[in-house]
Structure formats: structure tokens, C-alpha cells
Amino acid sequence: MGAISTILEQSSFSHSDLEQLLMCEGNEMRLLFSKGSTVKEKFVGNKVYFRGLVEFSNVCDKDCYYCGIRRSNLSVRRYNLTDSEILDAALFADENRFGSVVLQAGENSSPAFADRITNLITRIKQLSDGRLGITLSVGEQSDMVYRQWFEAGAHRYLLRIETTNQSLYRKLHPDDQLHDFNRRMDCLHSLRAIGYQTGTGVMIGLPFQTNGDLVNDLLFFQEFGIDMVGMGPYIEHSETPLHKFRHELLPIQERFDLSLKMIAVLRILMNDINIAAATALQAIDPLGREKGIKVGANIIMPNITPGFYRNDYSLYENKPCVDEEPAQCKGCLDARIALADGEIGYGEWGDSIHFINNKRKG
């Protein structure tokens, strides 16, 4: 126990300290979780903010080896919500005082797509009298397009780097221009320069990934000065190329624990950022997201995609809540957050305190 409790009292951490934290088990792990929880309480309080997630299309140009909706998976029934279905979902979020929506979809870099998103941003702002915050999660785009969306009113952007180990990145993606690590990194820099609250994240427990890689991921978040992080366990999908490595993976419970440890360590490392409890946690443990909240996360993204389409946005297997309608999800979440000793920040944007502090400094 000695080593971990000593590390937890430090105010800065070496690579090897962080690696030790990721390796701890049993009582030491519980100590880490309780530290994550205390730091969270102190710097960002116990409020949990909702972002209503609209997975508006599973049509995707990309072919990532881990993802169930990759272009080459021909057994996916492709869908694209109509504008009015998306606006209805936003209205639902506003009426239920969710504070923000996240528009997420497979990647599409056509000009028609860019204009469609601009128009949707404008209309969501109008229908909510400016109340709803808008986060986008639609992949790599040109600087000009990111700018166009920011000017229309989007203020946060999520683009996971997936892993900062470039040779691992190459094993997870086809080797072509569409899947280029440096381009993805450039996008993150461009988003930040434009003024977005910028979010990234990684998958945890990927084949060939080491704890050392995960520590480098955490140090990257810190060095970049990221505002928001969403990271969750990698979960295999049988219709993807990566599935053949399923025997190399950590057992699912260990992947889950490692994900919670990553959240707790990140909270200790970056006190005032927003950390999402990823839905993938709940694919492993029915109380997964609540556990994420307990150890350091402060954001939940309830799925408000109309129920009919949910089964078709299967990035990984066992995705939770696919048979629920948005209204059922909301009732369920109220109870769940109370169980995790959290309070829901209804009607608030819940901006990243890190972002606000940095703006003041700048």
C-alpha cells in the first residue's frame, strides 16, 4: 500500500508513478478511486452534466479496424436521420433541460454535409432560444469547415486521437491518407485555435496496447492542455478485422477496471477538465457509467437518438439502451446519478472549467 499512497500525495507525477497507479489492484485501487473522487469534488464539485447524444447517421467514409460501422461492414443497415428527426431530438433535450446536445455521425467530408450541419446548428440555436449548447463529433474536416460550424454556434468538438502510439495507430487503421495520425493531430490543433472547447480520448485495452502507452496518452492530454476527455474500454466487434486478436485482450473485467483507473488518474492529473463516463463502460457493467462518475468523471451523454435507429449505431457489441426510447433513458438516468451521489446540472452548459480558466489567463 505504501508506494501508492505516497504517489497519491505528490503534486506532480513521473511516467513511472503513473504506470504504477494504472497497475494497482485491490485496496490500492480503492485508494486511487477515492482520491479521484475527492479531487473531483474539490475542483469541479459533484454536478453531473448531460449532453443529449444524437447519433444522426451511421454512414461513414472511414474503415477503422475496430469499429462496427466501418465502411466495409456490409451487414450494417445504413441510416441518416432527417433534419426534422434531429431537430425533434434537440427539442426533447431542451424540454428536458439537458443543457447541451452532441451531434455525432460517421465521417463525411462533402460540402453538402458541411452545409447541412451549419444549417442544423442555426436551427437548434433558434428552436432553443440559444439555450442549448452544441457539441459536434463528426470527425476530421478542413479548417474552413470547422470555422464555419464554430461561427454558426457550435462551441465544443470531440475528436478522439484513439491512441498516441503511432505504430499502434497504424495497426488499428488502414495505411492511407484517410487514416493519418498526423492529420488527426492537426485537426485537434486547428479546433483549439478556432476557439472550440476541444475534447479527445482513447480506447483502453486495445490489442497490443501497454500501460506505458496509456500513460503517454494521459501525458499527451496534459501537454496539449485538453479541455475535455472521453475514453472507454475497447470492446470487440465480430464484424471487424480487429476481432481476430480477441484472444490477446485483457479479460473484460480487467479492461473495465483499467478504464476506471484511467479516469481516476486523469482527474488527479488534470483537476478541472470535463471527463465523460463513456457509454462503453455500461456495455461491460450495468452500473459502469455511475462507477465512472464516482471515481472522477462529471459528464454523461444520454442517448437521445430515436429508438428505431439505435440498433444500427453499433460501434461495438453489447451496446446498452438500444431498445429504449429517450424518455425512458431520462427517468433511468435521474435515478442512476442519485445512486452515484451526483447532482444533475439541469439546464446548464457545464462548460469545462479548464477552458474557462485558460481563457481568463489568455
Across the chain, the runs of DSSP E, i.e. the strands, are 47-57, 100-105, 133-137, 156-158, 197-200, 203-204, 228-233, 274-277, 299-300, 343-344
Binding of ligand 5AD at residue 66 (CB under 6 A)?
Answer: yes
Give the one entry of ligand 5AD, ligand FES, none that residue 280 binds, where binding means its C-beta sits below a cut-off of 5 to 8 angstroms depending on kind. Answer: ligand 5AD
CB atoms within 10 A of CB 59: 16
Report the nearest approach of ligand 5AD to the CB of residue 161 (Å).
Answer: 9
Binding of ligand 5AD at residue 316 (CB under 6 A)?
Answer: yes
Give the one entry of ligand FES, ligand 5AD, none that residue 32 binds, where binding means its C-beta sits below a cut-off of 5 to 8 angstroms depending on kind. Answer: none
* DSSP conformation letters of 326-352: HHHHHHHHHHHHHHTT-EE-TT-----
- Measured from the CB atom, is 192 or 237 closer to ligand 5AD? 237
Phi, psi (degrees; rounded to nearest 5) at 207:
-60, 140
Give the one entry of ligand 5AD, ligand FES, none that residue 328 binds, where binding means its C-beta sits below a cut-off of 5 to 8 angstroms depending on kind. Answer: ligand FES
Q: Which residue is nearest to ligand FES (CB)?
A: 332
Of 200, 265, 260, 197, nearest in space to 232 by CA? 260
Give the one entry of ligand 5AD, ligand FES, none that residue 67 binds, where binding means its C-beta sits below a cut-off of 5 to 8 angstroms depending on kind. Answer: ligand 5AD
Phi, psi (degrees; rounded to nearest 5) at 52:
-70, 115
DSSP percent split of the chain into helix, strand, coil, nearest 5: 50, 15, 35
- Measured from the CB atom, is 327 or 356 closer to ligand FES? 327
Across 211-286, the runs of DSSP E, i.e. the strands, are 228-233, 274-277
Beta bridge partners of 202: 162
- Measured from the CB atom, is 53 or 89 closer to ligand 5AD? 53
Read off the C-alpha cell for 329: 433513458
Give the one entry of ligand 5AD, ligand FES, none that residue 168 binds, where binding means its C-beta sits below a cut-off of 5 to 8 angstroms depending on kind. Answer: none
Stretch that binds ligand 5AD, among 29-37, 181-189, 231-239, 318-326 (CB under 6 A): 231-239
Selected binder of ligand 5AD within 51, 71, 156, 160 (CB under 6 A): 160
Report the nearest approach of ligand 5AD to the CB of residue 315 (Å).
Answer: 4
Bridging pattern class, strands 47-57 and 299-300: parallel
Report the nearest approach of ligand FES to the CB of residue 289 (Å).
Answer: 8
Report the nearest approach of ligand FES to the CB of residue 81 (Å).
Answer: 18
Name the residue with cell 446548428. Answer: 121
Give the one entry of ligand FES, ligand 5AD, none that residue 321 binds, where binding means its C-beta sits below a cut-off of 5 to 8 angstroms depending on kind. Answer: ligand FES
Q: What amino acid is encoded at 164 in this protein?
A: T
User: Do 265 and 295 contact (CB within 8 A), yes or no?
Assistant: no
Please count the helices (runs of H) and the strands (runs of E) in the chain.
15, 10
Binding of ligand 5AD at residue 67 (CB under 6 A)?
Answer: yes
Give the one entry of ligand FES, ligand 5AD, none that residue 203 binds, where binding means its C-beta sits below a cut-off of 5 to 8 angstroms depending on kind. Answer: ligand 5AD
Report the nearest approach of ligand FES to the CB of residue 324 (Å).
Answer: 4
Phi, psi (degrees; rounded to nearest 5) at 36:
-55, -45
Report the nearest approach of ligand 5AD to the CB of residue 301 (Å).
Answer: 11
Stretch that binds ligand 5AD, among 23-31, 229-237, 249-257, 292-300 (CB under 6 A): 229-237
> Residue 232 and residue 252: Cα distance in Å, rounded?
12
Binding of ligand 5AD at residue 234 (CB under 6 A)?
Answer: yes
Q: Which residues bind ligand 5AD (CB under 6 A)?
A: 66-67, 160, 162, 203, 234-235, 237, 280, 315-316
